Amino acid sequence: MNKDQVKGRVEEAKGKAKEVAGKLLDDNDLEIEGNVQKNTGKVQAGFGDIKKNIKDKLDN
């Protein structure tokens, strides 16, 4: 795993936690913040996946 994959998945998990907390506490702002953070993490992890795939192809 590269740093983008790790950071992305960490952000995704933190965002999901915020999103759930926002739902439980009926805090729409926290829920939206969590959703944005979760999706940003997904994008970063996806970018890391692409980088890894390219690197693996070039190494072969």
What is the distance between the alpha carbons of residues 12 and 22, in angstroms, rounded to a whole number?
A: 15
The pLDDT value recorded for residue 60 is 82
The pLDDT value recorded for residue 2 is 95
The alpha carbon dihedral of 9, 15, 18, 19 has a sign of negative
Residues 26-41: pLDDT tens digits?
999 999 999 999 999 9
Is it the case that residue 52 has pLDDT exceeding 90? Answer: yes
Structural domain of residue 46, as residue ranges?
3-59
pTM (predicted TM-score): 0.89
State how many domains the chain has. 1
What mean pLDDT comes out for the span 31-60?
96
